[in-house]
Amino acid sequence: MLEVDGLAKRYGEVLALRDLSVSVDEGQCLVLLGRNGAGKTTALRCMAGVLVPTSGTVTVDGINAAADPAAVRAKVGLMPEVPGLYERMSARTYLDYFGAIYDLEPDLRLRRIEELLATFDLVDAADRWLGTYSKGMRQKVALIRATLHRPRIVLADEPTSALDADSARRAWDYLKDLQKDGCALVICTHNMEEAEQLAGRIGIMSAGRALAVGDMSELRRRSGLKSRRELRELPTLQDVYLAIVGNHHELAEPRSA
């Protein structure tokens, strides 16, 4: 569904991405982990066809993003960390506007909008201006906007960061339902517990590179950590993440004499 090969993106003197290669199959979830500035957001924007990479290729459902970015954007739902909503529109009008941009038939988009407003408990607030919404409510609208056209792949940057526990559960349940229907997911998050529960594969990024990509068993092997026998537990994702990032920095930094 998604193939990223040798992706690089430069902003002036800053190389935000360098030789990033990942793939995501239909119905699969890839979670990207990394510190702020690791390149996760830039990677998502390149995958969505919003940014043009400096080098490398992005292919979505067989379509090269550089050759036909409009066709790629039609297959992708991008949920940025900052929603960027039109504050002097109501939620219902705003979603109808984007449904029209996605070329959904009026009856179909009305039905989907009402279903999703109900799913995320926004029906009572649907005719209020978005400028009056809380951060969590805005995030719900952004998720609805990104998935209204039933994209083949959803790219979500911190999709539950502003949500309370109940709303976050609803969001993850919704994303899992999309995944069951064959939608591929690429999600950036700092929440290790959510990442471990959701992801089929995890990519650990640092300084624009993917240090390791794989499922939990592969990442545990890559980390070099042993099971904590006294607790009869396997290393957690947080243990694995810190070990891989720490090993990378030890190798990258010259030892003092």
Q: Per residue in 50-74, pLDDT tens?
A: 889 999 999 999 999 888 888 988 8
The Cα-based distances of 52 to 14, 25, 156, 190, 240 in angstroms read 15, 23, 18, 26, 32
| Listed residue (93, 96, 85, 148) closest to 120, CA to CA | 148
Residue 256: which pLDDT band, with cuts at 50, 70 and 90? very low
Assigned token pair, 246: 């720490």
Q: Per residue in 87-102, pLDDT tens?
A: 999 999 999 999 999 9
| Cα torsion 117, 181, 186, 167: sign | positive
Output the pTM of the full model.
0.88
Residue 232 has what pLDDT?
60
Tell me the average pLDDT of the chain.
88
Structural domains in the chain? 2-252 (3.40.50.300)
Residue owning tokens 């092997």: 221
Backbone angles phi, psi at 181, to 5 degrees: -85, 5
Q: Are 61 and 71 in contact (CB under 8 A)?
A: no
CA dist 204 and 34 (Å) reads 6
| Listed residue (181, 176, 187, 206) closest to 24, CA to CA | 187
Q: Per residue in 168-223, pLDDT tens?
A: 999 999 999 999 999 999 999 887 877 777 768 999 998 888 999 998 888 888 88
CA dist 92 and 183 (Å) reads 25
Q: Which DSSP letter does residue 226 get?
A: P
